[in-house]
Amino acid sequence: DQQVKQNSPSLSVQEGRISILNCDYTNSMFDYFLWYKKYPAEGPTFLISISSIKDKNEDGRFTVFLNKSAKHLSLHIVPSQPGDSAVYFCAAKGDNAGKSTFGDGTTLTVKP
Amino acid sequence: NAGVTQTPKFRVLKTGQSMTLLCAQDMNHEYMYWYRQDPGMGLRLIHYSVGEGTTAKGEVPDGYNVSRLKKQNFLLGLESAAPSQTSVYFCASSYPALEQYFGPGTRLTVT
């Protein structure tokens, strides 16, 4: 049973437009959510996070929204740039050991 | 700071051979993790450690062993490699409750 799901394997957007990446989770014990970005042949890098006590967190062009009742979060990138083309992983945490459960990732392609 | 480093970057093993992957971090993080990533899938946790001398099983621990003898190092061992262990292996470290920092990965092929 996959606890964190990213239902869109890929997303293609035009440069300058908004990219919206979605993530759903099933475990109500998750209380901290993160997005990581991964380029080919590199390790994932942290992008942005949100605690379950908030419903929005913003960092420059990146905003994460959390809807606890729907167990859904989304990452908005505005405006999208070609350098944003990468795989984006959603992750969720819910215990003191800091373990994260990852989704399968969404490949974002931003076209010039 | 080098961050998180992994050795080796690539390795090809024959079925039944053994090897050890080394992860090192210079950020004084308490927590360290080993993941594997297969094509089209997310990262799955193999083993993790919440401090020097401690280890625990993750989601997919079978066929792997780990040791954390020093705070900065986390070793992942394959005692008898199988083709199903062909994957990309990522090590990560973190402070408690914060984001993880990942190494560049080790691409392992078992023939």
Query: How would residue A94 be classed by pLDDT, with cut points 50, 70 and 90?
Result: confident
What is the mean pLDDT of the segment spanning B42-63?
94
| Lookup: tokens for B78 | 């394959």
Closest CB to A105 among B42, B58, B94: B42
User: How far apart are the C-alpha atoms of B50 and B30, rounded to whole Å?
Assistant: 6
Chain A residues with CB under 8 Å of B51 CB are none
DSSP B60: S
Chain B residues with CB under 8 Å of A95 CB are none
Please name the residue that has the structure tokens 């094509």.
Answer: B39
Identity of the residue numbered B32 = M
Q: What does R_g of chain B's alpha carbons equal in angstroms?
A: 13
Instruction: Identify whether the C-beta of residue B63 lies closer than 8 Å to the C-beta of residue B47.
Output: no
Q: What's the pLDDT tens digit per position in A25-75?
A: 999 999 999 999 999 999 999 999 999 999 999 999 999 999 999 999 999
Does B2 contact A at CB distance below 8 Å? Answer: no
| Lookup: tokens for A77 | 């990138």
Does A98 contact B at CB distance below 8 Å? Answer: yes
Nearest CA distance, B8 vs chain A (angstrom) = 14
Could you tell me the maximum CA-CA distance found in chain A, to the nearest angstrom? Answer: 43
φ, ψ of residue A74 to 5 degrees: the values are -140, 150
Chain A residues with CB under 8 Å of B103 CB are 43
Please name the residue that has the structure tokens 């979060």.
Answer: A73
Nearest CA to A49 among B80, B94, B109, B30? B94
Nearest CA distance, B82 vs chain A (angstrom) = 23
Average pLDDT, chain B: 95
Closest CB to A43 among B44, B94, B105: B105
Contact assignment for A98 to B50 by CB distance below 8 Å: yes
Other Cβ atoms within 10 Å of B54 Cβ, number = 12
B104 prior amide bond cis, ω within 30: no
